[in-house]
A and B are shown apart, each in its own frame.
Chain A
């Protein structure tokens, strides 16, 4: 049996890991997790009597129907009572006191205990959303129904989100066609600086000039296929990266029976799966250590994934395989980063405009569309976003019938 190199990963959170909010949930409650991950507000509704219920139940309290479904629900509600908690039995909340809690009567009926934005006022209307807290678990958050000044600055809201404002950001692969647009969108959203990894920072390429011409963007030497290169960059800036945006990718259309296919597949795996693993090893621990460092903490890891990770496309076999592996790796990474309070956001995109997918007919995802969606996902603290018509189409078809998706992609 081959002995794997390196020490075994510790099972317990690292010493000094920040306390996280209470993470126990019933299985039924993860219907909320699913909606929160995508930024939807969904509650259970009875298919028989159409009544909304909350908290998550296993039968309808009105008609005992045992088949409650999570469906999108109206986001409005009325704040009927509130409190400010100054004493908590939980270590996470003890570090974040005082903490506001509200009781909201949702427009669709049920009473909902919520995390309460500081600008919410008793007797006034609120807007409800499902968020993932620092433990990655679903919670209901209430904000004022209408915009208030500096709404994003609420400390409780910041615990639920990963706003790029004032953050130092690393985009791992500057050759990704969306990299220049991502850098600009993040800076427009208030990011302090953006480092962009390039295997050869001096080499000319489409978008290179654009990157170099943008203020607060710094090209940094980073060969994602070389663990030493990744480690060297982490040693230099790893302690300051607040958000890592992993754009590792490698697109070479090939058919499986072509002589070159196995090599092409392994190259793609190297450039994506192995690259992500190198990045995780080099940057993950340092980010976890800064997961609770206040306003300038490390907050998020973003993977830009091909929607073909969800349903393979024969024309893009290596990308489909590699990104499916990256998707699985992202779940591993998410579980490993969770004790540090670092979010993992997977941004699934259809083919992106640019040289990689030139032969693919529209609709394609534009770099600016992708960039806006990533910034929005970070601001809202999402976990899974689907960008562009093709990605959303694949998501919907996968949910409806995975076999239909497989057959249709193969035709």
Chain B
């Protein structure tokens, strides 16, 4: 499909102030509390008052009955641009794209993109049970396995079709755990060996314990502003080279073996003016390792069906041949609800601005972060990706 005219670039628009509110396995606090802490982190990081934030893009599963509107009064914001992005794992990319255009158009000067969720003891079951109408009618009553069961079906098919083995999934999980051990905020604190991975208890075959994320409470956030604003505030920043977003691609596939990235990947690199080999660090959306492998293919790092070989021929640690999910990703840092879609962007922003500290990849200047989400029924509907470029500062 040819696309014309070429999309307008994001020249002059930057991302800044990566904020992660350290995760907790369970929390008695509300999503509002977690989002407030993220906003406070943004303000402290930027040296501004929260009333200076005139744009607010919020993602969460657990603010009900409040939407982003309710949060403005709850948190004392008075934005002139407001967005509620209930899109799970793709909410980060979607928030970033919308915010960048709003700032570019002058509709807002500083947009806070915040995702936060609590995890009270029954939160996860409620989220799964009420996720979507199709889930309510046609997947949840079939064992109530949630995303684990959905990704089990996808992983089994992928294994059968492309020859992926559990060891391949395990290699990614083990590398991410090694990365997480360098991230003081990661929930997972103990080393993981491939043997541990292989011997873990089954959750939804072929998925076993370490294929699955741990639901938790937490928040992730960043700011979008003009480059001149960032400079005036003295903030390190990353330029937005390109973004893509897609929903409900490839409806004809009998089982999902590719995401919407495959449809838009050409545009992703054309807009950025680079090739995949120029990416220094990659943050995939990793609620399960099979979906990371799909992203290696669909985002152009290898051809469709070649991710198993790609995994076997690379190392994925911070100092590896393909630095990947350097904070530990969701698999080892935890999945804080909708914040899982912001986690990769926040870590990418740290990496390309040289501020990742113990997880810093040497000389990382161009990073890719992707998002994926919304298993509405049998497949993840939403995909997105962003390429960030941090100048040496």
**A residues within 8 Å of B by Cβ?**
21-26, 28-29, 54-56, 61, 80-90, 92-93, 99, 101-103, 105, 111-115, 122-123, 133, 135, 137, 139
**B residues within 8 Å of A by Cβ?**
124-125, 128-129, 133-134, 136-146, 148-149, 152-154, 156-157, 160, 201-207, 251, 254-255, 377-378
A22-B129, A82-B153 given; A87·B137 CB < 8 A? no
Given contacts A83-B206, A84-B202, A93-B143, 5 further A-B contacts (CB under 8 A): A23-B141, A24-B129, A86-B203, A90-B129, A135-B141
A132 to B: closest C-beta gap in Å:
11
A-B residue pairs in contact (CB < 8 Å), sample of 14: A24-B136, A55-B138, A55-B377, A80-B157, A83-B152, A83-B205, A83-B207, A85-B145, A87-B148, A90-B143, A93-B144, A101-B142, A101-B152, A103-B378
Question: Please, which residues of chain A bring their CB within 8 A of the CB of B377?
Answer: 55, 111, 113
Most buried by A among B145, B152, B378: B145
Whole-angstrom CA separation of A122 from B155 in the bound complex: 13
Partner of A89, one of B133, B138, B139, B144: B144
Question: Please, which residues of chain B bring their CB within 8 A of the CB of A23?
Answer: 141
Tell whether, in the assembled complex, residue B254 and residue A111 are in contact, meaning their CB atoms are under 8 Å apart.
Answer: yes
B123 to A: closest C-beta gap in Å:
11
Question: Please, which residues of chain B bring their CB within 8 A of the CB of A21?
Answer: 141
Question: Please, which residues of chain A bring their CB within 8 A of the CB of B149?
Answer: 83, 85, 101
B240 to A: closest C-beta gap in Å:
33
Partner of A80, one of B152, B202, B204, B254: B254
Partner of A88, one of B133, B144, B152, B156: B144
Whole-angstrom CA separation of A113 from B134 in the bound complex: 11
Tell whether, in the assembled complex, residue A85 and residue B148 are in contact, meaning their CB atoms are under 8 Å apart.
Answer: yes
B33 to A: closest C-beta gap in Å:
24
Partner of A22, one of B133, B140, B152, B206: B140
Residue of B nearest to A88 (CB): B144
A81-B255, A83-B204, A103-B153 given; A88·B136 CB < 8 A? no
Most buried by A among B124, B143, B152, B156: B143
Residue of B nearest to A22 (CB): B141
Question: Please, which residues of chain A bring their CB within 8 A of the CB of B125?
Answer: 89-90
Whole-angstrom CA separation of A103 from B157 in the bound complex: 10
Tell whether, in the assembled complex, residue B129 and residue A111 are in contact, meaning their CB atoms are under 8 Å apart.
Answer: no
Whole-angstrom CA separation of A139 from B134 in the bound complex: 13
Please name the 6 residue pairs, one residue from A and one from B, whose CB atoms are nearest each other, closest first.
A90-B144, A83-B152, A55-B138, A89-B125, A81-B157, A85-B145
A82 to B: closest C-beta gap in Å:
7
B314 to A: closest C-beta gap in Å:
27
A93-B144, A111-B378, A122-B160 given; A86·B202 CB < 8 A? yes
B206 to A: closest C-beta gap in Å:
8
Whole-angstrom CA separation of A201 from B255 in the bound complex: 62
Whole-angstrom CA separation of A61 from B157 in the bound complex: 25
A54-B138, A113-B138 given; A86·B129 CB < 8 A? no
Tell whether, in the assembled complex, residue A84 and residue B142 are in contact, meaning their CB atoms are under 8 Å apart.
Answer: no
Question: Please, which residues of chain A bring their CB within 8 A of the CB of B124?
Answer: 89
Tell whether, in the assembled complex, residue A88 and residue B145 are in contact, meaning their CB atoms are under 8 Å apart.
Answer: yes
Tell whether, in the assembled complex, residue A85 and residue B204 are in contact, meaning their CB atoms are under 8 Å apart.
Answer: yes
Question: Please, which residues of chain A bring their CB within 8 A of the CB of B156?
Answer: 81-83, 122
Whole-angstrom CA separation of A84 from B148 in the bound complex: 11
Tell whether, in the assembled complex, residue A89 and residue B128 are in contact, meaning their CB atoms are under 8 Å apart.
Answer: yes
Residue of B nearest to A139 (CB): B141
Whole-angstrom CA separation of A208 from B54 in the bound complex: 87
Tell whether, in the assembled complex, residue B157 and residue A139 are in contact, meaning their CB atoms are under 8 Å apart.
Answer: no
Whole-angstrom CA separation of A102 from B149 in the bound complex: 9
Question: Please, which residues of chain A bring their CB within 8 A of the CB of B138?
Answer: 29, 54-56, 112-113
A157 to B: closest C-beta gap in Å:
14
Question: Please, which residues of chain A bring their CB within 8 A of the CB of B251?
Answer: 61
A26-B137, A82-B156, A113-B139 given; A89·B204 CB < 8 A? no
Whole-angstrom CA separation of A137 from B378 in the bound complex: 20
Residue of A nearest to B125 (CB): A89
B288 to A: closest C-beta gap in Å:
12
Question: Please, which residues of chain A bring their CB within 8 A of the CB of B142?
Answer: 101, 113-115, 139
Residue of B nearest to A28 (CB): B137
A143 to B: closest C-beta gap in Å:
15
Whole-angstrom CA separation of A114 from B254 in the bound complex: 14
Question: Please, which residues of chain B bring their CB within 8 A of the CB of A29?
Answer: 137-138
Question: Please, which residues of chain B bring their CB within 8 A of the CB of A56?
Answer: 137-138
Whole-angstrom CA separation of A11 from B141 in the bound complex: 24
Question: Please, which residues of chain A bring their CB within 8 A of the CB of B140?
Answer: 22, 90
A89-B128, A103-B255, A105-B254 given; A133·B202 CB < 8 A? no
Tell whether, in the assembled complex, residue B204 and residue A87 are in contact, meaning their CB atoms are under 8 Å apart.
Answer: yes
Question: Please, which residues of chain A bring their CB within 8 A of the CB of B254?
Answer: 80, 105, 111
Whole-angstrom CA separation of A166 from B117 in the bound complex: 51
Question: Please, which residues of chain A bring their CB within 8 A of the CB of B152?
Answer: 83, 85, 101
Residue of B nearest to A29 (CB): B137
A93 to B: closest C-beta gap in Å:
5
Question: Please, which residues of chain A bring their CB within 8 A of the CB of B129?
Answer: 22, 24, 89-90
Tell whether, in the assembled complex, residue A101 and residue B143 are in contact, meaning their CB atoms are under 8 Å apart.
Answer: yes
Question: Please, which residues of chain A bring their CB within 8 A of the CB of B134?
Answer: 55
Question: Please, which residues of chain B bring their CB within 8 A of the CB of A102?
Answer: 153
Residue of B nearest to A97 (CB): B143
Whole-angstrom CA separation of A139 from B128 in the bound complex: 18
Tell whether, in the assembled complex, residue B136 and residue A26 are in contact, meaning their CB atoms are under 8 Å apart.
Answer: yes
Tell whether, in the assembled complex, residue A81 and residue B153 are in contact, meaning their CB atoms are under 8 Å apart.
Answer: yes
Question: Please, which residues of chain B bring their CB within 8 A of the CB of A105?
Answer: 254
Residue of B nearest to A62 (CB): B251
